[in-house]
Amino acid sequence: MYTPDGEGSFPALVYYHGGGWVIGNLDTVEVPCRMLANRANCVVISVDYRLAPEHKFPAAAEDSYAAAKWVVENAASIQIDPNRIAVGGDSAGGNLAAVVAQMARDKKEISLAYQMLIYPVTNHSYATESYTENADGYLLTKDSMIWFWNHYLRNEEDGKNPYASPLQANDLSGLPPALVLTGEFDPLRDEGEAYAERLKDAGVQVEATRYDGMIHGYFWMPGALDQGKKAIEQAANALKQVFQGSVASK
């Protein structure tokens, strides 16, 4: 949990790390989480959800929702404003953030203010143009994604479940506003942008940006890539605006 200087109550971002639901941990997202906490002046709760293949779908999704629910229910004790809580994540973590937003809408137990989706996995499919164009040579490969999905899912049918493939949900209305960032040379580019379009079509307010020249993982690399730093600044500014808007609308 990353808490900025000052007195609460603070807005909060519940963050899910990437790694294909199989690898990755709290340390891999230390830098972006710390930067977001400082720049958006919000508490960032980084979630150590269960990983596959020991814990297959829906374990990660259930853990991710449980963490968000815990933050809402215990907001006062951790200096958080329960009306200003967002979810976010990168790659498989972006998938989990999108899924938690859908679960929160469906279960009607908690209310979320925002979803921050960084090159999210949204569909169990490899049929997009970006998978063809960027299958090899740009850090994340098509073969790696097949490997990740095969470890995560119990069977092919799981891949059709919107809590695994949020793009396959019949209805995306009633979800919180979203930021969707993608990269030009990323196999996941097209499914992230397709999800942004589906959200817009459902009446959800969406800010979508493709970072040209970027490969998968740039959000983790602000020290090496100017575009990575720029993406974190964009995400922090989006969070600040939403949190300030939530205060004004109370």
What the block records as the tokens of 187 is: 């196999």
What the block records as the tokens of 56 is: 């297959």
Residues in Cβ contact with 42 at an 8 Å cutoff, skipping those fewer than 6 apart: 4, 10, 11, 12, 13, 36, 84, 86, 239, 243
Instruction: Please identify which of the residues 64, 91, 130, 165 carries the catalytic annotation.
Output: 91
For 218, phi then psi, to 5°, come to: -65, -25
Instruction: Please identify which of the residues 17, 64, 90, 216 carries the catalytic annotation.
Output: 216
91 is catalytic: yes
151 is catalytic: no
- Report the C-alpha gap between 116 and 167 in whole angstroms: 15
173 is catalytic: no
Instruction: Please identify which of the residues 81, 90, 186, 190 carries the catalytic annotation.
Output: 186
Residues recognised as catalytic: 91, 186, 216
